[in-house]
Amino acid sequence: MSAGGPTWRAPGKVILLGEYAVLHGHAALIAAVERYASCRRDAGPHIEVVAPGHGHLALRDGVFTGEGDLRFVRAWLAEHGAPPGRYTVDTRDLGFVPPGAAWTKLGLGSSAASTVAFLAAVHDAAGAPADPAALYCAAQRLHRAVQGTGSGADVAASAFGGVGRYRWSADAGGPLPAGDGAGDHTPVAGPARLLVAWAGRPASTVSLVGQVRDWAARDPIAHRRLIERLAATATVDLDDRPALIEAVRAGAAALAELGAVSGAPIVTEAHRTLDALAREVGGAAKPTGAGGGDLAWLVAPDEAAERALRSRIREAGFAAWRMDVAAQGVTRSA
């Protein structure tokens, strides 16, 4: 970004294990990665928010103007306002440009990361503490209000960073109250970097979760059984590589069954291909988050096997990255 006012950055996320189960009070394993949403605030007489590729929004004398999809920002400003200034929210680092195509999101939680970064800039401008816990609570409350659902795992990764075991529940208290529930984020030992590959298309978390929810209402017993299987995978020690590979395989199998019975396209053909490539070197692969596209996470038994796997992924035509885990969550730079 160009020189200007202070900039806040919030990392993106990869949900490693326990997706869908985290929506029902179970813990998930999440990792923040060194791909960032940022928000810079420059001086200005009115509130203006500019998000390259997503739109712009202005609030002047109580009247909104602008265009694009900035619903989280708009909802915050409608209820709380913000100190005047020009807020530039940039999420381009959380996507990529496929050959011959336009920029597309990778499924790294861009809406959560950009919300955390924006709220950090607003808190900072107002002279209020922009500590991770306060930002998590504010951003999760906002996301729940706008979307009506969501565990906040992506919000927690952006706020706190590192690798963590995250739980959110509407039925129990917790150290991080947020709207109609509370969360808990506990740092755990985990990998310093992740191997991920693009599954070929962006996915809608809200749509996929909605399909699963509709099926759960029709068959709650089968749904509970699959949720418990997914929850069990998130109890693994991430530093135990053989156990981790088995947990990834178990998670992928449970997600495939969940997709088959609910009709939600959670595990795609690309995910299955990537898993087959991983198994060739003794590893495993699975969708991250809600699935349906976005990224797959691949695990190999050791560094040599991972190098071989990366070569196979490239030969198969997939875009892949080794993403470093972001040790810190939201941070400020001058």
Task: List helix spans (H) across the chain.
Answer: 71-80, 110-125, 132-147, 153-160, 205-218, 220-233, 241-262, 269-280, 303-315
CA distances from 141 to 34, 91, 326 (A): 25, 21, 24
Residue 173 has pLDDT above 70, yes or no: no
Residue 171 has pLDDT above 80, yes or no: no
User: Residue 172's pLDDT is what?
Assistant: 66
For the chain, the first-to-last Cα distance in angstroms comes to: 12
User: Residue 120's pLDDT is what?
Assistant: 97
Provide the mean pLDDT of the chain.
Answer: 93
Residue 168 has pLDDT above 50, yes or no: yes
Q: Return d(Cα 27, Cα 284) in angstroms, integer.
A: 21
Q: What is the pLDDT averaged over residues 223-244?
A: 97
In angstroms, how far is CA 131 from the centroid of its own chain? 20
Residue 203 has pLDDT above 90, yes or no: no
| Residue 148 DSSP class | S
Domain ranges of the chain: 7-191, 193-324
Q: Return d(Cα 82, Cα 86) in angstroms, integer.
A: 11
Residue 2 has pLDDT above 50, yes or no: no
Q: Return d(Cα 156, Cα 162) in angstroms, integer.
A: 10
Q: What is the pLDDT averaged over residues 135-143?
A: 94
Rg from Cα positions in the chain: 20
The sign of the CA dihedral 250, 200, 268, 292 is positive
Q: Return d(Cα 228, Cα 236) in angstroms, integer.
A: 14
203: tokens are 């996915």
Contact 23, 223 (CB under 8 A): no
Residue 9 forms beta bridges with which residues?
Answer: 38, 331
User: Residue 1's pLDDT is what?
Assistant: 38
Q: What is the pLDDT of residues 217-227, one digit of tens each?
A: 999 999 999 99
Residue type, 250: A
CATH class label, 193-324? alpha beta
Instruction: State which fold the 7-191 domain adopts.
Output: Ribosomal Protein S5; domain 2 (3.30.230)
* Residue 155 pLDDT class (50, 70, 90 cuts): very high
Q: What is the pLDDT of residues 26-77, one digit of tens each?
A: 999 999 999 999 999 999 999 999 999 899 999 998 899 999 889 999 999 9
Strands 47-51 and 85-90, bridge-based pairing: parallel
Q: Which of the two residues, 100 and 197, has the higher pLDDT score?
A: 197
Q: Return d(Cα 290, Cα 205) in angstroms, integer.
A: 6
Question: Residue holding tokens 């590959």?
Answer: 197
Q: Return d(Cα 178, Cα 158) in angstroms, integer.
A: 15
Residue % of the chain over a pLDDT of 90: 83
Residue 118 has pLDDT above 70, yes or no: yes
